[in-house]
Amino acid sequence: MTLSEGPIWYGQMPTSHPMGVIRVVFSRIGMAELHTAVQPDDGFEAWAAPLAGPQSAPQARQVNQALRQIDEYLAGKRRMFEIPIDWSVMTPFQEQVLRATYAIPYGEVRTYGEVALAIGKPNASRAVGGALGRNPMGIVIPCHRVVNHNRDLHGFSAPGGLDSKAWLLRLEGHTVVGQRLA
């Protein structure tokens, strides 16, 4: 799936956390993408500028609020996000998986099998992993809270891979030894 037709708005901010520079992208509906470890010269601005048009106050406010909330989360000061999400950028199956993942409370984890069971597809653990691997809004949709059945950290497509996943889990109070929850 792709961004809804129409304008997009984006903003980015540097962080002092391992996630590096964070970029959020919003459609008219809500957040559609979140990128970590953004490189300033990645060409995104040139691609987005013709689509963005003038940032109206409501959209600019949404972008800035999202960046503030993400920074608060990374600083350990926020546990829940109040950010509208554009679910239309996902396939129906991915939306099911990511909505179930979005519902995992701060500081808790689920296995791929538990997420599959939660969406009524108990034999779809691998497909759940595939959908999580294409999560366009990591951190906000907390795919880092999903682990292997034996509590091993498995699969994390964001920059930094499993080290980033471990950092996020530690931020939420988990003990991670090597690549496994203790």
Question: How large a percentage of the chain has pLDDT more than 90?
Answer: 63
Q: Decide if pLDDT at 117 tops 50.
A: yes
Share of the chain above pLDDT 70, in %: 86
Q: Which amino acid is at 76?
A: G
Of the candidate CATH numbers 1.10.10.10, 3.40.120.10, 2.40.50.140, 2.30.110.10, the domain formed by 90-181 belongs to 1.10.10.10
Determine phi and psi for 4, rounding to 5 degrees: -55, 150
Please write the tens of the pLDDT for every residue from 25-61: 988 899 999 998 887 666 666 545 434 445 556 677 8
Q: What residue spans define the domains of the chain? A: 9-74, 90-181
Has 41 been annotated as catalytic? no
Mean pLDDT of 100-113: 97
Give SS3 for 86. coil
3-state secondary structure of 67: helix
Residue type, 101: T
Cα angle value 62/63/67 (rounded, 5°): 115
More confident residue, 6 or 126: 126
Catalytic residue (one of 8, 137, 143, 146): 143
